[in-house]
Amino acid sequence: MGGNAKRVSSVLRQRLIAFGGKAGSSLIQQLRPKTIKMAKTNFKRQKGGKDGWGVGLDYLFKEYWDKIDDLVRDNYFGRHNPKLINPLFSKISAALDESIAEMKTRCGKNGPGLKEWVGKAKKIRGLAASSVLLSEKVIFIDATVQFLRATSWRDKKKTVEKKFTIQNGVNQLKGLVVSCAEKRIKGVAKIVLNKKDFLKIKRGDILITKETNPDFLPAIKKAAAFVADLGGLLCHMAIVARELKKPCIVDTKIATSVLKDGDLIEMNTEQGTVKLIRKVK
């Protein structure tokens, strides 16, 4: 590497560390060749579309969409800005209360599915009461945003899952590292696809799933690390994993298909791999 290139690399490293603290340093160590690409990640969610703003009840906090995008950016770089988090925490709490009233008005007192929906909303509301640390407040904000974005009166489109050919003898998966709290971690795999599976998780287990939503928080808090078939840098699991400072690898495509409950596995967040060490008998 030439002198100029070394100086540029050094300056970029210093700026990333200054911008993201310890997380900035970890990102450099984790994906050194992709540093510049990561620095250009777009955290602004578009309006409309499948993954955009305004697909559900998130219109109730429309004036804070940009602030929430900023919050996700800070989460990505491991930063907590109380001047951003605390006001959003209050506004999103109010929006959740407003959403309950909105649903009761639109669906009627005995509307189909209303009771279950209100029950979920109140569980998420309960997170607010126990949220003291800034990291806890971020998890509550994200849970509320994900929940309200998923609430819509539009017709539900059928979800078509891609089929992957699974070959015998697969003992290592590769995915996208979205939280590198530890370079390597070993643990027992537990497949969690719904609420009934939450009881499987014990302290130190590695949670294996397709993707998560706010309902998964009880299981997420008990697990030591996470692996998912789907997801990206800004998905629900990624945001929560970074706040909890737990390792997470997403977009493995077939983790829930090739791993079984009880398998001993090792996650490597430097290489983005999940290795099967010992298969359950």
189 shares a domain with 145: no
Instruction: Give me 257's structure tokens.
Output: 């298909």
Instruction: Read off φ and ψ for residue 275, nearest 5 degrees.
Output: -110, 135
CB 23 within 8 A of CB 79: yes
pLDDT for res 169: 56
Q: What angle do CA 89, 70, 98 make, to 5 degrees?
A: 35
Q: Is the pTM of this model over 0.85?
A: no
Report d(CA 60, CA 58) in Å as an integer.
5
Q: CB within 8 A of 93, min separation 6: which ones?
A: 125, 128, 140, 144
At 190 the three-state DSSP class reads: strand
187 shares a domain with 112: no
pLDDT for res 8: 41
96 shares a domain with 10: no
Range of the domain at 226: 172-278
Residue with tokens 């495509």, as numbered in its chain = 253
User: Is 166 inside a domain boundary?
Assistant: no
189 shares a domain with 104: no
User: Is 133 inside a domain boundary?
Assistant: yes
Q: CB within 8 A of 148, min separation 6: which ones?
A: 56, 57, 58, 60, 61, 95, 96, 99
178 shares a domain with 252: yes
Instruction: Give me 206's structure tokens.
Output: 């590695």
Instruction: Give me 23's structure tokens.
Output: 């997380």
Which residue type does 161 have?
E
pLDDT for res 92: 94
133 shares a domain with 88: yes
185 shares a domain with 247: yes
C-alpha 183: how far from chain center:
19
Question: Any idea what the CATH number is for the domain that residue 185 is in?
Answer: 3.50.30.10
274 shares a domain with 182: yes
pLDDT for res 146: 87
137 shares a domain with 74: yes
Report d(CA 75, CA 27) in Å as an integer.
13
111 shares a domain with 65: yes
Which residue type does 71 have?
L
Q: Give the number of domains in the chain.
A: 3
pLDDT for res 112: 76
Given the DSSP bridges, would you call strands 273-278 and 264-268 parallel, antiparallel or unpaired?
A: antiparallel
Sheet with 176-179: list strands edge to edge.
172-174, 273-278, 264-268, 184-191, 206-209, 225-228, 248-250, 176-179
96 shares a domain with 9: no
Ordered mean pLDDT values, 10 residues apiece, the chain (281 residues) = 46 44 42 37 67 79 91 89 95 92 79 84 89 92 88 45 43 89 93 93 94 90 94 88 94 90 94 90 76
